[in-house]
Amino acid sequence: MGFSKDFFWGAASASHQIEGAYLEDGKTLNIWDAFVEGHVARGDDGKVACDHYHRYKEDVALMKKIGLKSYRFSISWARIFPDDSGKINEKGLQFYKNLVNELIEAGIKPMCTLYHWDMPMWVFEKGGWEKEENIPYFVRYAEACVKELSDKIEYWLTFNEPEAFISAGYESGEHAPFLQLSGERVKAITRNVMLAHGRAVLAMRKAAARPIKIGTAHAACVTSPANETPEEIEKARVSTFETDRPYFCSWWADPVFLGKRQAGTNYLSDEDLKIIHQPLDFYAFNMYNADGYGAPKNQSNPRSYPGYPLTAMDWPITPECLYWGARFCYERYGLPIMITENGMANLDFIMLDGEVHDPQRIDYVHRHLLGLKRAADEGVPVIGYQYWSIMDNFEWALGYSRRFGLIYVDYPTQRRILKDSALFYAEVIKTNGENL
Ligand code: IFM
């Protein structure tokens, strides 16, 4: 059976991680711009990043060369609404209109994420996600983007990885705004983000120029079974959806997709759930590896052994994750599955021959796609795979030290080089996965 004919073979990025132009054409500061100092490896920041704001045409041309069918990017809220006046910054909007036109001309379907962690400072100064009163600002932004761009963009995602930006931004303090808040305050943030998602979905449907598809890209965790006996599979399924693990799969997905409050979100009221639980069109998730049950909470891989394969992020390589993730999440949530992120950081550099050879990434993608293909073969409606990331970029607190891209970025010159993995992926796309 394999991948469907119209499968979205794509790659992903996020505004703050690639655009640069941090104060150009009316954009104001976001929380990463404002608080970066002293928080990021080697003092890196997102001021220039990959300079994609100025080089988007070159970047889209490279995407076309790879043969991408889709490209998932995010919009910088502070470019569209640089202040609280409610007036759209036309120049900021024009950038995204140009990008989308360029993509469409190249035969690439744009997919848009509204919030990939770069909250405008003016919203943060009003209390950010801690204040329910700020939700309308997000709804207005979502509405404006959809109104202006839905004639060309069909696929939309409200949030990227709420699990990650809430826990890293407001609990452990590793990500902007680098706070360590009390449990009660984090709960308020969680509730507000969930409500913002629900309210935005309602507004987006109304504002759309045509029927659009809406999802939300969460960081799903999956437990893979030790072997494939029914008992082990059931243990893994139960562990995947354990509800008392904050930030694990069902923490976000049960309220959003099932309208169900559970142990991790028992502070949501019935009224809240009615807003949060809006019908969505597909189930999108980002996944880089699997857990194994029996692991102490927060320890990701109990089956590891000395020398276990790791990426340059120190993340275990567990290629079965996409199979079990797609299968379990489809069983529970019943929607077509889209992988909105999967990929690896590798120790890439330009080699003597001037090329970037990255066999580890080729192997990583190959193995993970085999897992996804297995899910498709068994009847899970898998509609897309967006490799993270289209190009090397600003990896948040780790700055430019980690490279996830299919395209190598030489930051001092901004030269781009297609890595070997990009050429491999091009072949996967060309054969619709038949070469795997
Ligand atoms: O770079 C991030 C991305 O912004 C969100 N998901 C995980 C990626 C790798 O850490």
Query: From the CB of 14, is ligand 1 less than 6 Å away?
Result: yes
How long a stretch of residues is the chain?
436
Mean pLDDT (the chain, rounded): 96
Query: From the CB of 392, is ligand 1 less than 6 Å away?
Result: no
The enclosing H or E element of 218 equals strand 213-219
Query: From the CB of 254, is ligand 1 less than 6 Å away?
Result: no
Does the structure show a pLDDT above 90 at 162?
Answer: yes
Q: Report the pLDDT value the prediction gives residue 432, as an integer from 0 to 100.
A: 98
- Cα 268 vs. chain centroid, distance in angstroms? 25
Q: Report the pLDDT value the prediction gives residue 303, as an integer from 0 to 100.
A: 72
Token pair recorded at residue 406: 């299919």
Quickly state the pLDDT bin for 372 (edges 50, 70, 90).
Answer: very high
Question: Is the torsion defined by CA of 257, 262, 267, 269 positive or negative?
Answer: positive
340 close to 217: Cβ distance less than 8 angstroms = yes
Cis peptide preceding 381, ω within 30 of 0: no
The domains of the chain, with CATH numbers, are: 8-430 (3.20.20.80)
Kindly give the number of the ligand 1 atom that is closest to the alpha carbon of 313: 10
Pocket test for ligand 1, best of 118, 161, 313, 321 (most atoms within 8 A of CB): 161
Does the structure show a pLDDT above 90 at 159?
Answer: yes
- Rounded distance from Cα 395 to ligand 1 centre (Å): 7
- Rounded distance from Cα 50 to ligand 1 centre (Å): 16
Q: Report the pLDDT value the prediction gives residue 95, as an integer from 0 to 100.
A: 99
Token pair recorded at residue 128: 């950010």
- Rounded distance from Cα 54 to ligand 1 centre (Å): 23
Token pair recorded at residue 258: 């099932």
Place of tokens 């500061």: 29
Q: Which of 390, 392, 424 is nearest to 410 (CA)?
A: 392
Mean pLDDT of 165-187: 97
Mean pLDDT of 117-122: 98
* DSSP characters over 334-350: -S-EEEEE----B----
Quickly state the pLDDT bin for 293 (edges 50, 70, 90).
Answer: low
Q: Which of 425, 363, 332 is nearest to 66 (CA)?
A: 425
Query: From the CB of 286, is ligand 1 less than 6 Å away?
Result: yes
Query: From the CB of 345, is ligand 1 less than 6 Å away?
Result: no
Does the structure show a pLDDT above 60 at 359?
Answer: yes
Kindly give the number of the ligand 1 atom that is closest to the alpha carbon of 396: 1
Q: Across-strand partners of 371?
A: none
Query: From the CB of 161, is ligand 1 less than 6 Å away?
Result: yes
What are the pLDDT digits (tens) for 229-263?
999 999 999 999 988 888 889 999 999 999 999 89
236 close to 224: Cβ distance less than 8 angstroms = yes
Query: From the CB of 341, is ligand 1 less than 6 Å away?
Result: yes
Q: Report the pLDDT value the prediction gives residue 155, as an integer from 0 to 100.
A: 98
Does the structure show a pLDDT above 70 at 297?
Answer: no
What are the pLDDT digits (tens) for 61-108?
999 999 999 999 999 999 999 999 999 999 999 999 999 999 999 999
User: Please, what is the Cα angle at 272 between 271 and 275, to 5 degrees?
Assistant: 95
295 close to 302: Cβ distance less than 8 angstroms = yes
- Rounded distance from Cα 316 to ligand 1 centre (Å): 15
Which residue's C-alpha comes closest to atom 1 of ligand 1?
395
Does the structure show a pLDDT above 60 at 294?
Answer: no
Q: Report the pLDDT value the prediction gives residue 37, as an integer from 0 to 100.
A: 97
Q: Which of 120-124, 310-314, 351-355 has the lowest mean pLDDT?
A: 310-314
Mean pLDDT of 117-145: 98
47 close to 20: Cβ distance less than 8 angstroms = yes
Mean pLDDT of 213-225: 94
Q: Report the pLDDT value the prediction gives residue 244, as an integer from 0 to 100.
A: 84
Q: Report the pLDDT value the prediction gives residue 1, as an integer from 0 to 100.
A: 81
- Rounded distance from Cα 164 to ligand 1 centre (Å): 9
Quickly state the pLDDT bin for 299 (edges 50, 70, 90).
Answer: low
Does the structure show a pLDDT above 80 at 292?
Answer: no
Tell me the pairing of strands 382-388 and 337-341.
Answer: parallel
Q: Which residues are catalytic?
A: 161, 341
- Rounded distance from Cα 276 to ligand 1 centre (Å): 24
Kindly give the number of the ligand 1 atom that is closest to the alpha carbon of 14: 4
